[in-house]
Amino acid sequence: MGSVYNFGLFGHSRSGKTVLAESILFCSGAIERMGDINQGNTTMDYEEEEKRRLMSTNLAVAHFQWKKMTCYIVDVPGYMDFIGEQISAAEAVDIGILNIAADSGVEVGTEKSWHLLSEKKVPIIIFINKLDAEQADFNSTLKQVNEYFGKRAVCVIAPILSGNRIQSVVNLLDPANQKKPEFEGLVQNLLDSIAEVDDVVMEKYLSGESLTSEEIASSLRKGILSGTVIPICCGSGLGRIGIEQLLDFITNYLPSSSEMPSLKAKNDRGEDIEVQRGENANLSGIVFKTYNDPFMGRISYLRVRSGRLVSNTGFYNASQSSKERIGQLFRLRGKKQELVAEAVSGEIVAVAKLTSFKTFDSFSDVSLPVIYPVPSIPEAAVSFSLAPKVKGTEDKLGAAISKIMDEDPSIKVFRDTETNETIISGMGDVHLDVVMNKFKDKFGVEVIKGTPKIAYKETITTTASAEGKHKKQTGGRGQYGHCFLRVEPLPRGAGFEFVDEIFGGAIPRQYVPSVEKGVKEAMSKGVLAGYPIVDIKVTVYDGSYHVVDSSDIAFQIAGILALQKAVQEAKPVLLEPIMNVEVSVPQEFVGDVMGTINAKRGRVLEMTTHGTNQVIKALVPLAEMSNYSTELRSLTSGRGTFVMSFSHYEEVPPHLAERIIEAKKMKKEE
């Protein structure tokens, strides 16, 4: 088998990623004709929801051959509500292609994808797409790219333009093209950046000697891997221009999957290990997506990171320490499946009916367990109440909920014990809208969506201690649990920490986890208004027990009582989600928009020019953002757009917190 390459198409929503994927599949001979998004017949957007919305809502995978190389492409939704899919895709690929539309330039989705890929240390190529669009402007887009990414972003495939429209492309790494005067500036920047990667090459370059093709290739490859060079290719997905040159560039100048640097992981003892890639190494990989197919049931998408995985063999879930049989492996091309006998390092395959695996679980050889780090998913920001439309379909709804959470780790569903409602939380209105349709279309259960609820949290602002004692004598064996807890605030976003400081057996070892369980239960219910408590360190430091009457449940109850008391003493406050809001409007509406942001308790961070629009970046409490799309539409005659993503939690001002707590109390009394 030839080398394996796999890459993801990332970038802003509607920047042309799905059409680029279609063009790649067509130019490589994997499909016989190009589909059209408007006709709903592209390879990668095959779900009904995607056809209806004319945009990707799920990642999709396809394989193809390119000059003896086996390649995998992952098409990634660009809309920020689908951050869960973007995170999954970043786990699956070796290379990120950042797709930028030449008629709209660097957008918020470009920046978000860039941050995600850089955090994962995924090598990046930029593809300037849509160079045949009406408003396309290569030079202005290139200028924006350089302003954002600096001089490390260099053009390797340049367009030949007529007016502003692309005719064809040329490879600037070809010595013949380097001599053409019209490319002089681009070639100069390219060679400067390549030379800077390697001291020996730099010395030779500065002394005026010509660099050999091997020196250029080796420095370029090194620079791309370290992130000191970001190559720019260009063309048009729709016009099929620059596609072959993009694929040639990847397969000629980037390492194949097996040649990529080794991977960091842990073994089953929690020790750090390095995993060597390549098909002759030991087996390891991850499940990066779970999908519930109406006919085949649960399908797991697997990325083999090292070694070789064979169909119908034993399979070890290193994350859950469980063994399982694996069935027939298959490769995907959108929704089409092709059976394969095995998959080697770098390949992306799928398998049906794995029972013990969740998304982001690691698999490996039983003899050498490998556990890869699980990426963190941002906190859900928008919540609705959820109820079955038809009485008696509660069980069906429950089954659908567990399948949806299985498919999408960014969806959270929980029961609000105060109001007896089922609450579903997601990344935004569009995300939850897509999920609501999925209940009906995919799982056959109709739901009623209640008013959006803000996912408030509670926390403490100072240190306090309290005692929890549960003592019951009812003839026969009684109940006795007794503990002392200290609570301390943690930095925002730090979560929960439990510390055991019991000395001298004041509480027997086996009951300390029971105290922790009670603490967690009390935290989930809050003390102010029934919202979960976060960012808190809880230390159990003393207590007592009874030889006969002490039990797990008694210490759980003691833990609940102690935590509730301690939190009430520790000056609890309410926290609310704060959103990153980016509003793009023509210049004449800037004043009005800034006025609305200030009125919403928002803080404007910066303003940038984006083509003919101004982009206002601000932090605004989510509670103030309901109906903002309608408000913005009427304010700007439909010319303003905004995107919103979760940023962090902040304290609610006291006068507003009082109102929220009061409203929650009244609801409970009802």
> Which of 436, 455, 474 is a domain's end point?
455
- One-letter amino acid at 621 equals P
Is the predicted pLDDT of residue 633 greater than 80, yes or no?
no
Question: What mean pLDDT do residues 147-171 have?
Answer: 92
Tell me how far CA of residue 10 lies from CA of 26, 37, 98, 615, in angstroms: 19, 17, 5, 21
Say if residue 124 is in the same domain as residue 152: yes
DSSP 8-state class, residue 353: -
Say if residue 400 is in the same domain as residue 330: no
CA–CA dist 136, 106 (Å, integer): 13
> Which of 432, 455, 478 is a domain's end point?
455
Question: What mean pLDDT do residues 384-396 have?
Answer: 88
424-448: burial string, b at 16+ Cβ within 10 Å, e else: bbbbbbbbbbbbbbbbeebbebebe
Say if residue 33 is in the same domain as residue 95: yes
Query: What is the value of pTM for the model shown?
Result: 0.76
SS3 category, 216: helix
List, as one string, the DSSP characters of 525-572.
Answer: H-SSSSPPB-SEEEEEEEEE--TTT--HHHHHHHHHHHHHHHHHHT-E
Is the predicted pLDDT of residue 232 greater than 60, yes or no?
yes
Question: What mean pLDDT do residues 181-208 have?
Answer: 91
Going by pLDDT thresholds of 50, 70 and 90, the confidence category of residue 611 is low
Mean pLDDT of the chain: 91
pLDDT value of residue 381: 65
Strand ranges inside 176-266, DSSP E: 230-234, 263-266
pLDDT tens figures, 591-602: 999 999 999 999
Going by pLDDT thresholds of 50, 70 and 90, the confidence category of residue 417 is low
Of 456, 460, 418, the closest CA to residue 566 belongs to 460
| List of residues 6+ apart from 88 with CB closer than 8 A | 59, 288, 289, 359
Assign residue 564 the CATH number of its domain: 3.30.230.10
pLDDT value of residue 428: 78
Question: Domain limits at 595?
Answer: 575-653
> Which of 527, 550, 570 is a domain's end point?
570
pLDDT tens figures, 50-83: 889 999 999 999 999 999 999 999 999 998 889 8
CA–CA dist 393, 20 (Å, integer): 42
Residue 107 lies in a domain: yes
Residue 373 lies in a domain: no
pLDDT value of residue 1: 58
Instruction: Find out whether 272 and 289 touch, Cβ atoms under 8 Å.
Output: no
Assign residue 438 the CATH number of its domain: 3.30.70.870
Say if residue 514 is in the same domain as residue 564: yes
Say if residue 147 is in the same domain as residue 31: yes
Instruction: Find out whether 629 and 642 touch, Cβ atoms under 8 Å.
Output: yes
Say if residue 32 is in the same domain as residue 167: yes
Q: Is 464 exposed, middle or buried (CB count within 10 Å of its CB: 0-12, 13-18, 19+)? A: middle
Residue 670 lies in a domain: no
Cα-Cα-Cα-Cα dihedral of 29, 30, 34, 36, to 10°?
-160
Strand ranges inside 436-523, DSSP E: 447-449, 453-454, 457-460, 464-472, 479-489, 496-500
The partner residues of 391 in beta bridges, in order of sequence, read none
Going by pLDDT thresholds of 50, 70 and 90, the confidence category of residue 418 is low
Say if residue 114 is in the same domain as residue 244: yes
Going by pLDDT thresholds of 50, 70 and 90, the confidence category of residue 244 is very high
Residue 128 lies in a domain: yes
CA–CA dist 246, 16 (Å, integer): 15
pLDDT tens figures, 2-29: 799 999 999 998 899 999 999 999 999 9
Is the predicted pLDDT of residue 641 greater than 90, yes or no?
no
Q: Is 422 exposed, middle or buried (CB count within 10 Å of its CB: 0-12, 13-18, 19+)? A: buried
Handedness of CA 544, 549, 550, 554 (dihedral sign): negative
Question: What mean pLDDT do residues 235-263 have?
Answer: 95
Residue 218 lies in a domain: no
Say if residue 331 is in the same domain as residue 285: yes
Assign residue 101 the CATH number of its domain: 3.40.50.300
pLDDT value of residue 142: 96
Say if residue 606 is in the same domain as residue 563: no
> Number of folded domains in the chain?
5
Residue 546 lies in a domain: yes
CA–CA dist 102, 23 (Å, integer): 17
pLDDT tens figures, 472-509: 877 677 899 999 999 999 998 888 999 999 988 899 99
Of 559, 481, 488, the closest CA to residue 524 belongs to 559
Residue 189 lies in a domain: no
Say if residue 550 is in the same domain as residue 474: yes
Residue 120 lies in a domain: yes
Question: What mean pLDDT do residues 398-402 have?
Answer: 92
Question: What mean pLDDT do residues 341-364 have?
Answer: 96
pLDDT value of residue 143: 94
Of 504, 480, 497, the closest CA to residue 539 belongs to 497
The partner residues of 35 in beta bridges, in order of sequence, read none
pLDDT value of residue 211: 86
Say if residue 268 is in the same domain as residue 360: yes
Going by pLDDT thresholds of 50, 70 and 90, the confidence category of residue 251 is very high
CA–CA dist 157, 142 (Å, integer): 12
Pairing of strands 95-101, 165-171: unpaired
Strand ranges inside 395-495, DSSP E: 412-416, 421-426, 447-449, 453-454, 457-460, 464-472, 479-489
Going by pLDDT thresholds of 50, 70 and 90, the confidence category of residue 450 is confident
Assign residue 279 the CATH number of its domain: 2.40.30.10
Tell me how far CA of residue 145 lies from CA of 17, 107, 142, 168, 607, in angstroms: 18, 10, 5, 21, 17
Backbone angles phi, psi at 354, to 5 degrees: -80, 125
More confident call, 450 vs 171: 171
pLDDT value of residue 79: 87
pLDDT value of residue 627: 74
Going by pLDDT thresholds of 50, 70 and 90, the confidence category of residue 281 is very high
pLDDT tens figures, 515-555: 999 999 999 989 998 889 999 999 999 999 998 889 999 99
Q: In the block, which residue shows the tokens 């509660």?
A: 394
pLDDT value of residue 520: 95
Backbone angles phi, psi at 395, to 5 degrees: -65, -40
Question: What mean pLDDT do residues 428-446 have?
Answer: 89
207-230: burial string, b at 16+ Cβ within 10 Å, e else: eeeebeeebbebbbbbbbbeeebb
Say if residue 426 is in the same domain as residue 531: no
Assign residue 583 the CATH number of its domain: 3.30.70.240
Instruction: Find out whether 405 and 413 touch, Cβ atoms under 8 Å.
Output: yes
